[in-house]
Amino acid sequence: MSAPTTERTSRRLLASAVRHPAVVPVGAVILALLVGAAIVAAAGLDPVAAYVAVIEGAFDPRSLDYTVSVWAFICGMGLAAAIPLRMGEFNLGGNGQLVLGGLAAALVARVSPLPGPLTVLLALLAAAALAGAFGALSAPLATRLRIPIIISTLLLSPVAVAVVSFLVRYPLGEPGAAVAQTERLPDAAHLMSLPGLTYSNIGVIIIIAIMVAFYVVDSRTAVGFELRITGANRRFGTYAGIHTGRLAFGAMAAAGAAAGIVGAIIVMSPPYRLIDGALLSPGYTFAGLAAALLAGGRPALLPVTAALFAVLQVGGASMERSADVPRQLSDVLQGVVIIVLALRTVIDARRTGRAG
Amino acid sequence: MTDAAVTLTGISKRYGAVVANDSVDLVLRRGSVHAVMGENGAGKSTLMSILFGLTEPDAGTIEVGGVERRFRGPADAIAAGLGMVHQHFRLFDSMSVAENVVYGAEPTRGALLDRRAAAERVRELSDRYGLGLDPDANVGRLSAGVRQRVEIVKALHREAEILILDEPSAVLTPDEVTSLFSVIRRAADAGTTVVLVTHKIQEVLAISDEVTVLRAGRVSGRFATAEVTGPQLIEAMTGRDVVPVSNAGARELGGIALSVDRATVVEQGITRLDDVSLTVRTGEIVGVAGVSGNGQHELVEAVLGAVALTSGTVEIAGTDVSSLDVRRRRLAGLAVIPEDRRGEGTAVTMTTAENITAGHHRSAPISGSGLAKGWLKRRAQREEATRLMADYDVRAESDQSLVGALSGGNAQKVVVARELSHGAPVLIAEQPTQGVDVGAIESIHTRLLEYRDAGRAVLLVSHEITELQALADRVVVLFAGRLVAEFSRAEATTARIGAAMTGGVTSGSGDAPEGRTA
């Protein structure tokens, strides 16, 4: 074999390796970790110690229970992004859907005369319905008025957040409280706790069940097949007779319902109140979106990528304590991951644009 | 040649397995209008991307004004005196004409934009070339034709001596095309070299001085426009040697299976399909000829329901489907092999099994019935796929191979298998053999004839006259969105079809005007 031939073969191998679908997501994570390390080092701190602290913090037996609950919430919000992403749509309205779910649960809990489990079920259904309807609203806006779903979800979300914030502050607010919050929900609306655990309750099981359902629908049903076809090539879907508008309606309703259920679970967990801002401040929506993007919307990968962000988020706090690195580093890492993933879209578009 | 403004020699470019340009030579004479023509996918866009520095060639040289150049990007090409007006305009809608024109090469006074100089420059160029542009107008409010002139002035402002116009008439109304031509003429008279990229023959004949025709990445003809006829250009564009498949002729015609009545499609003010009526009977293949972009694709999409009819009706197997969606039209008895395999015919990132069963996934054997309705039987899906792949000779490693990894011919067989295997009474085949190898062409042609012989109706849209002659029992010709001619199998000579494709004939079976022979 002459040298040029071997060189060409190795270049071809390299080229096909670079095109492997796992390269970009894994590369994004590695790059993010390197950028994070560089920032920590530039601040004169020890990046290795920081990452060790993250891992130790997240997997500390005493807080593992908490890590699992954060993971579940990120999974839930990840579903809200991943379901539409499967058909190529971006749901950026997770925040609005999340708080509407919380609102619906709080309202149902307040008025429901039913015994415990039924009240919880009713609250979850109401949350799914209200948040699902809010999410689904973006589909006709896209099909009839040609407002892209990514835009309408992004712009409608703050409206819902503001409305819920107003309701919690005034009509539904606890009189005399220093914080804008509802009264403590009646006992019937408290989610069952799991034996021996403090943070993770039955809500974790519910979210896992929804993830399983998404996996089954995605891989085993006609609707899931249509979602994947539309995500792979929308024009092909149209030619094959898929009603993409109706599909978007269903996907956005399901996405909104998932976010709404997360909201309901948070409200029906300690401290059993809808508190203004408390649903949004942990940043589950953005972490879930990042996890969904990193998983490429694939149901089987979502729990894995969500675990990554859960570890960063929980471990970030202990990193702040023990390695003196601010926990905002977790947000920086999330941001870098998203930028790298977005770059791929741009590069793909360039590549196909040239092959004309 | 001493007066060559640009000389491209031996340009080659491949994308993976696709050879986009194969040793292309192109000489542009200074001050001439040079048309580069060819079908979609013939390599025009790649060649122009290379000339404008958007793509680097694998081999070949570019000489501008006798000096060899290597363009690392469009900036190099612009510096060498090239300008390009893209098919899709690159303008800022919210800014004025003058601001758009000078963007990137602004006249300045100190650190500030010299608005007066900018407006003056636009006025001067506008007057010189008879463009009638108002420098202060807001670009977002202008029509497509005027916006195109803004793009032209933008290039001229940067002292482009060689102006590339990529499919400039695609977005224009007929009147705007006329005024574009007078602008091109003036620019050429003033010494600018104009390259006109197009697949419309009538434009080439109307405006160009010289023509270079590309086919499958190679130069298939070089002509002085004054000495060439439309049919000769069509032959150069489409005259591929098709392995002859004998059409023994239709046995017995049945009832009308597809009926299109006075179909009109208007998109953004442009009439794409103009009052077209045609019928296809069972046991018949009706060919649709035309240079691409004359309404064929709109006809297909209007029948399928992917684009809405502005007026008119479509009937499939006796059902008026005009107001139905794609799915219900397919259920009514329609199958479609789309023109663009990667764009509409397949999802390249999905498996062969998924592609070959898509669209039939809601019926047996792939979908369950009764309580299991809506569930995919994955084993049945794979079995069905394996069966179809064997039947239609799709060569892939397995039914789980991604369609993007298959050759063009095999990917097309996936489409053909999916559309033919369900025996829909009406089949539309749009460019069914575009970009596939000779073996696959023969097999697809045989399948289409068998499909007809099984007592079904086929509407075959093709840019290849030879393909239509081989398969069609009757040929209709579309020109500028109108159905301008209809020929029986016996009448469908290359000369007649070619003349009608260039708009030369408006009525059916009469003798076509004799063109100069090729």
pLDDT digits (tens, 9 = 90+) for B208-256: 999 999 988 899 999 999 999 888 888 888 765 444 566 766 667 889 9
Where is pLDDT greater, at B498 or B312?
B312
The 10s digit of each residue's pLDDT in B177-207 is 888 899 899 999 989 999 999 877 888 999 9
Mean per-residue pLDDT for B315-342? Answer: 93
pLDDT value of position A318: 83
Across A29-38, B66-75, B295-304, B503-512, least confident range = B503-512
Q: How many residues does chain B have?
A: 518
A243 Cβ under 8 Å from any chain B Cβ: yes
Where is pLDDT greater, at A141 or B108?
A141
Nearest CB to B347; choose among A219, A236, A241: A236
The secondary structure of B414-481 as a DSSP string is: HHHHHHHTT--SEEEEESTTTT--HHHHHHHHHHHHHHHHTT-EEEEE-S-HHHHHHH-SEEEEEETT
The secondary structure of B367-413 as a DSSP string is: BB-GGGBTBB-HHHHHHHHHHHHHHTT---S-TTSBGGGS-HHHHHH
pLDDT value of position A325: 84
Interface predicted TM-score (ipTM):
0.86
In the predicted structure, residue B512 carries a pLDDT above the cut 70: no
In the predicted structure, residue A17 carries a pLDDT above the cut 80: no
What proportions of chain A, in percent to the nearest 5, are helix, strand and coil? 75, 0, 25
Give B344's contacts in chain A (Cβ within 8 Å).
233, 235-236, 238-239
Give B325's contacts in chain A (Cβ within 8 Å).
241, 243
In the predicted structure, residue A354 carries a pLDDT above the cut 50: no
Counting Cα atoms < 13 Å in the Cβ hemisphere of B141 gives 9
* B349–A232 CB contact, under 8 Å: yes
* B326–A233 CB contact, under 8 Å: no
The 10s digit of each residue's pLDDT in A49-104 is 889 999 999 999 988 999 999 999 999 999 999 999 999 999 999 999 999 999 99
Mean per-residue pLDDT for B297-324? Answer: 94
pLDDT value of position B517: 33
Question: How far off is chain B from A263, nearest CA to CA, in Å?
Answer: 30
Across A306-315, B17-26, B463-472, B499-508, least confident range = B499-508
* A356–B345 CB contact, under 8 Å: no
pLDDT value of position A119: 95
Nearest CB to A241; choose among B326, B346, B347: B326
The 10s digit of each residue's pLDDT in A288-299 is 999 999 998 999
pLDDT confidence tier of residue A272, bands split at 50, 70 and 90 = very high
Q: Where are chain A's structural domains?
A: 46-343
pLDDT value of position B407: 79
In the predicted structure, residue B515 carries a pLDDT above the cut 50: no
Secondary structure class of B485 (helix, strand, coil): strand
- Rounded distance between C-alpha atoms, residue B383 and residue B394, angstroms: 14
Percent of chain B with pLDDT over 90: 49
Where is pLDDT greater, at B226 or A116?
B226
Architecture (CATH level 2) of domain B4-238: 3-Layer(aba) Sandwich (3.40)
Return the residue of A nearest to B327 by Cα: A241
What's the DSSP call for residue B6?
A: E
Across A90-99, B140-149, B212-221, B508-517, least confident range = B508-517
* Residues paired with residue B457 on neighbouring β-strands, in sequence order: B284, B426
What's the DSSP call for residue B359?
A: T
CATH number of A46-343: 1.10.3470
Token digits for B414? 């996936």
- Rounded distance between C-alpha atoms, residue A88 and residue B155, angstroms: 37
Percent of chain A with pLDDT over 90: 65
* A232–B347 CB contact, under 8 Å: yes
Mean per-residue pLDDT for B270-276? Answer: 92
A170 Cβ under 8 Å from any chain B Cβ: no
Counting Cα atoms < 13 Å in the Cβ hemisphere of B391 gives 16
Token digits for B392? 């239609």
Task: State how far the alpha carbon of A249 is from the alpha carbons of A274, B242, B320, in Å.
Answer: 28, 47, 28
Mean per-residue pLDDT for A257-264? Answer: 98
Residues of B engaging A, defined by a Cβ cutoff of 8 Å: 15, 18, 20, 45-46, 49, 54-55, 304, 306, 325-331, 336, 338, 343-350, 354, 358-359, 361-362, 367, 374-376, 378
> For testing the chain B interface, which of A239, A243, A352 should be mutated: the one with the most B CBs within 10 Å?
A239
* Residues paired with residue B215 on neighbouring β-strands, in sequence order: B218
Q: Where are chain B's structural domains?
A: 4-238, 245-333+424-518, 347-423
- Rounded distance between C-alpha atoms, residue A47 and residue B23, angstroms: 55
> For testing the chain A interface, which of B329, B337, B349 should be mutated: the one with the most A CBs within 10 Å?
B349
In the predicted structure, residue A168 carries a pLDDT above the cut 90: yes
Return the residue of B nearest to A227 by Cα: B358
Give A224's contacts in chain B (Cβ within 8 Å).
376
* A354–B336 CB contact, under 8 Å: no
Return the residue of B nearest to A351 by Cα: B15
**Strand B474-479, strand B482-488: pairing:** antiparallel
> For testing the chain B interface, which of A221, A233, A352 should be mutated: the one with the most B CBs within 10 Å?
A233
Task: State how far the alpha carbon of B245 is from the alpha carbons of B32, B242, B489, in Å.
Answer: 43, 8, 15
- Rounded distance between C-alpha atoms, residue B45 and residue B123, angstroms: 32
In the predicted structure, residue B6 carries a pLDDT above the cut 50: yes
Mean per-residue pLDDT for A300-320? Answer: 91
Secondary structure of B54-122 in HEC code, one letter for each residue: CCCCCEEEEEECCEEECCCCHHHHHHCCEEEECCCCCCCCCCEHHHHHHCCCCCEECCEECHHHHHHHH
Across A97-101, A205-209, A329-333, B121-125, least confident range = A329-333
Counting Cα atoms < 13 Å in the Cβ hemisphere of A72 gives 23
pLDDT confidence tier of residue B364, bands split at 50, 70 and 90 = confident
Q: Tell me the CATH number of domain B245-333+424-518, given options 3.20.20.80, 3.20.20.60, 3.40.50.300, 3.60.15.10.
A: 3.40.50.300
Counting Cα atoms < 13 Å in the Cβ hemisphere of B48 gives 29
pLDDT value of position A334: 81
Secondary structure class of A194 (helix, strand, coil): coil
The 10s digit of each residue's pLDDT in A216-243 is 999 999 999 999 999 999 999 999 999 9
Which among B338, B340, B443 has a CA at the least distance from the CA of B393?
A: B443
The 10s digit of each residue's pLDDT in B35-49 is 999 876 688 888 999
Maximum separation of any 2 CA atoms in chain A, in Å: 85
Average pLDDT along chain B: 87
* B361–A233 CB contact, under 8 Å: no
Where is pLDDT greater, at B320 or A28?
B320
